[in-house]
């Protein structure tokens, strides 16, 4: 059902204005009339509420917020159902903007500002992980920056735990099945992109690394023309070097970002608190501990070295080789010649390995593109066949419709002919009845009854023989008007 300004829900929440609307529901600004508190009201449309999965996601968002109890998690105040079947959730009203909107408007934030925001994200995320909840869809859209809270600007609130995963009480309740991909593609960890069932808090920390990368660079690290291409890049390609986008970045900060986005789980930060500590140390000007960097040797890079070789990956390899060689020479005098030879061999092997990996990746991408093209062709053929089937079905229906129309016309013509014949019969009967009535109405004229001669009684035998009888001729009176009058006496 659609809500209008002034409508009251459950006798206590009054609608003030529409904040946003989508295919699944809408979000309104409202007021709790009993305590006069501004709130946000999320509505799940009744047609969507018929889906059990959608209802579970909706309710799990409220349950997650209640179980975590962190000030960096949006607070859910109430949950209910409207008479029309819509479900609603009442949350604290957030005054500010999403991190995605901030990135879009600024084109990227400074590393210091980014680190400050991400520390707030990690604070709330750590509380969720301690409560046994994995968010699984962490992205800038789900990070809200309050204008001010407790005197702190850009206070972080994490929202939308709709596809979160609960691992509490030694059990597991998940919204997904093996092989399913849940979450926004750009922020998926490699294990999520592969559809693995085992998705834990380290996937959330990977997403935080992507947010760090994007917030500074102004764009996501991995992108693709198709969904499959994006997944292949996340799973197979190395993370693009952040310093190639921003050449003046501190190497320690870059290393923290890349450690968070390590492909292997055991190479990432193992907890939100660990990553939070690394960023706090960097903000305070203290170099993070070596184990908190993606590569311990990265701490030895000078800013000028990274900038001068930022244009090519081969240049970055040469910088690492040169730095490592110098470190070996200063630690082990007298073996410079052998060390250089060793590093030349290692460098050659590294270049060959990189080339081989590039060839394998190119083949995999080509195979993926071929597979995608084959699927597209198959889908196109299926669509054409379906269109042909629909066309044939339409022609069949038109033929049946024409046949039915012809049969109706024939039936109507037969009925008209029968009605015409019936009318003729009725007219003929009426005419005969009229003639009979007319004849019955005419006066009857008396007619002479003339006994035939054969029926007359014989007088020869009846009369006495002794008496002679004179027969007189019988004449008819001319005035008899056609009637015969006997004149014999």
Annotated active-site positions, please? 137
Specify burial of residue 278 (Cβ count, 10 A radius: 0-12, 13-18, 19+): buried
Q: How far apart are CA 181 and CA 233, in angstroms?
A: 15
**Between the CA of residue 261 and those of 151, 217, 257, what are the distances in Å?**
33, 15, 7
Least Cα distance to 61 among 163, 134, 174 occurs for: 163
Beta bridge partners, 87, equal 44, 81
Q: How far apart are CA 228 and CA 207, in angstroms?
A: 19
Q: How far apart are CA 82 and CA 162, in angstroms?
A: 20
Q: How far apart are CA 281 and CA 174, in angstroms?
A: 36
The kind and range of the H/E element at 42 are: strand 37-44
Q: Residues near 144 by Cβ (< 8 Å), separated by ≥ 6?
A: 74, 94, 96, 97, 98, 99, 156, 157, 158, 159
Q: Residues near 175 by Cβ (< 8 Å), separated by ≥ 6?
A: 53, 56, 57, 60, 163, 164, 165, 182
Beta-sheet pairing, 133-134 with 96-98: unpaired
> Contact, 176 vs 182, CB < 8 A?
yes
Least Cα distance to 294 among 324, 252, 326, 327 occurs for: 252
Q: Please state, as a whole number, how many other Cβ atoms lie within 10 Å of the Cβ of residue 390.
A: 10
Tell me how far apart the 2 most distant CA atoms of the chain are, in Å. 204
Coil vs helix vs strand at 487: coil
One DSSP character per residue, 314-325 reads HHHHHHHHHHHH
């Amino acid at each position: 059902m659609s809500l209008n300004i002034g409508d009251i829900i459950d006798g206590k929440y009054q609608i003030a204005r529409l904040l946003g609307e989508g295919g699944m529901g809408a979000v309104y600004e409202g007021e709790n009339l009993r305590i006069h508190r501004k709130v946000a009201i999320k509505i799940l449309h009744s047609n969507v509420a018929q889906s059990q999965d959608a209802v579970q996601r909706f309710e799990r968002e409220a349950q997650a917020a209640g179980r975590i109890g962190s000030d960096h998690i949006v607070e859910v105040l109430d949950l209910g159902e409207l008479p029309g079947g819509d479900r609603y959730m009442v949350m604290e009203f957030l005054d500010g903007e999403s991190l995605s909107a901030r990135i879009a408007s600024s084109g990227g934030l400074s590393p210091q500002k980014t680190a400050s925001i991400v520390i707030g994200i990690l604070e709330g995320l750590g509380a969720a992980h301690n409560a046994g909840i994995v968010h699984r869809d962490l992205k800038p859209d789900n990070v809200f920056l309050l204008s001010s809270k407790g005197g702190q600007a850009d206070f972080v609130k994490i929202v939308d735990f709709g596809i979160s995963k609960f691992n509490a009480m030694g059990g597991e309740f998940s919204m997904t099945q093996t092989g399913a991909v849940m979450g926004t593609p750009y922020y998926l960890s490699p294990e999520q992109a592969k559809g693995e069932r085992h998705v834990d808090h380290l996937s959330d920390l990977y997403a935080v690394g992507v947010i760090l990368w994007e917030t500074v660079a102004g764009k996501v690290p991995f992108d693709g023309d198709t969904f499959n291409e994006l997944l292949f890049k996340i799973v197979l390609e190395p993370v693009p070097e952040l310093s190639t986008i921003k050449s003046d970045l501190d190497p320690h900060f870059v290393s923290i970002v890349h450690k968070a986005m390590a492909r292997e789980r055991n190479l990432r930060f193992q907890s939100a608190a660990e990553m939070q500590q690394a960023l706090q140390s960097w903000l305070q000007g203290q170099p993070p501990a070596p184990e908190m960097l993606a590569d311990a040797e990265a701490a030895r890079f000078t800013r000028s070295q990274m900038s001068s070789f930022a244009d090519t990956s081969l240049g970055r390899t040469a910088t690492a080789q040169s730095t490592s060689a110098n470190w070996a020479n200063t630690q082990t005098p007298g073996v410079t010649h052998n060390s250089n030879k060793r590093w030349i061999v290692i460098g050659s092997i590294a270049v060959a390995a990189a080339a081989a990996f590039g060839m394998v990746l190119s083949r995999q991408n080509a195979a993926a593109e071929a597979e995608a093209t084959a699927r597209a062709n198959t889908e196109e053929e299926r669509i054409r066949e379906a269109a042909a089937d629909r066309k044939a079905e339409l022609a069949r229906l038109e033929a049946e419709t024409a046949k039915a129309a012809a049969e109706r016309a024939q039936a109507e013509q037969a009925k008209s002919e029968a009605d015409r014949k019936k009318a003729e019969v009725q007219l003929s009967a009426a005419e005969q009845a009229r003639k009979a009535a007319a004849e019955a109405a005419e006066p009857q004229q008396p007619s002479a009854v003339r006994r035939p001669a054969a029926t007359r009684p014989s007088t020869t035998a009846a009369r006495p023989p002794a008496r002679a009888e004179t027969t007189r001729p019988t004449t008819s009176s001319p005035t008899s008007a056609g009637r015969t009058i006997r004149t014999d006496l």
